[in-house]
Amino acid sequence: MTDKSLEILTEHIKSLILEQGFTDVTFARVRKLDEYIPSFTQWLEKDYHAEMSFMENYKDKRVDPAVLVPGAKSVVVAIMNYYPENKQPGEIPQIAKYAYGRDYHKVLKKKLLKVLNQLVAEYGISGRAFVDSAPVMEKPWGEISGMGWIGKNGCLIHPRSGSYFVMGELIIDAELEYGKPAVMACGSCMKCINACPTKAIVAPGVINSEKCLSYLTIEKKDEEIWEVDSMYNRVFGCDICQDVCPWNKKSKPTTEPDFNPRNDLMKLTVDRWSEYNEQDFNRSFAGTPLMRAGYKGIQRTLKKIKAERNV
């Protein structure tokens, strides 16, 4: 391909992605993620993945998209802002902002597949779409492609959009024009590390999941949460280390209707939660991220929140 045709194809993919409502898109050449292997290996060795044993699987594929998708040449990184226009009142049990509306896996995957199908039809390109659905190291690809840097809070930060976005990728067999790796811009700031109530950020960018309220409320399967003294009023996920980040000061509300808050989310007091039985819960929250914790997971966390409040 000539430089001109690379440029044309890259611009075409960019406009297809942005037409789907994504906030930004960047491109990286497929290669092994050599510089990330030591930190990832250490993270696993220290058991910072807690009981997420799926993080131990398919390491060869996780660190090299060419093993995951044979013939792959490019990673297309797409992000979508989910920052809500209105937030839950602080006194009710808090749901992380990414979980206010429809499950992002479904929203992003559908859009990425639309783009992929068009590329298949127009150019005979082949590839796969991923949204946290397979062993892909999404944040490192965000860094390499120039989308943003991995902040001390462990989240990818976009210089203009902050970190309230979710991400997905197309891994395709066509060459494109690639971005330059992003430069870390946290500087001497330590706000997230100091604000994390459970001290789960054990080093800049390194999260000990066992202590992280996001892990404990979403991924942990046991019937009781013993690892932390308090839930800090988090019933599903946690945004504390993002809320304090100066790069999120200018966050703009999402334009994706699927991310609008479901049902009576703004009024979910402890009492209102108590009125839900499993059937109501499943009916109300079908298709939302809350199904990952499920009725039992949410009830388990609420039990701890209630015990702390003595209600």
Q: Which is nearer to ligand B12, 6 or 55 (CB)?
A: 55
Q: How far is CA 285 from CA 64, 71, 262, in A?
A: 36, 39, 8
Q: How far is the CB of 118 from ligand SF4 (least distance, A)?
A: 36
Q: How far is the CB of 171 from ligand B12 (least distance, A)?
A: 13
Q: Which is nearer to ligand SF4, 116 or 196 (CB)?
A: 196
Residue-wise DSSP of 28-85: EE----GGGHHHHHHHHHTTTTTT-GGGGTTHHHHT-HHHHSTT--EEEEEEEE---S
Q: How far is the CB of 200 from ligand B12 (least distance, A)?
A: 7
CB atoms within 10 A of CB 249: 7
Task: Establish if 247 lies at the interface with ligand SF4 (CB under 6 A).
Answer: yes
Q: Give me the catalytic one of 47, 60, 132, 222.
A: 132
**Position 125: which residue type?**
I
Distance CA(254)–CA(193), nearest Å, equals 27
Contact of residue 240 among ligand B12, ligand SF4, none (CB under 5-8 Å per partner type): ligand SF4
In the annotation, is 132 catalytic?
yes
Q: Which is nearer to ligand B12, 115 or 207 (CB)?
A: 207
Contact of residue 96 among ligand SF4, ligand B12, none (CB under 5-8 Å per partner type): ligand B12
Which of 75, 108, 172, 186 contacts ligand SF4 by CB under 6 A?
186
CB 243 within 8 A of CB 66: no
**Position 214: which residue type?**
S
Q: How far is CA 252 from CA 25, 82, 248, in A?
A: 17, 9, 9
Residues that bind ligand SF4 (CB under 6 A): 151-153, 186, 189-192, 196, 198, 200-201, 207, 212-214, 238, 240-241, 244-247
The residues annotated as belonging to the active site are 132
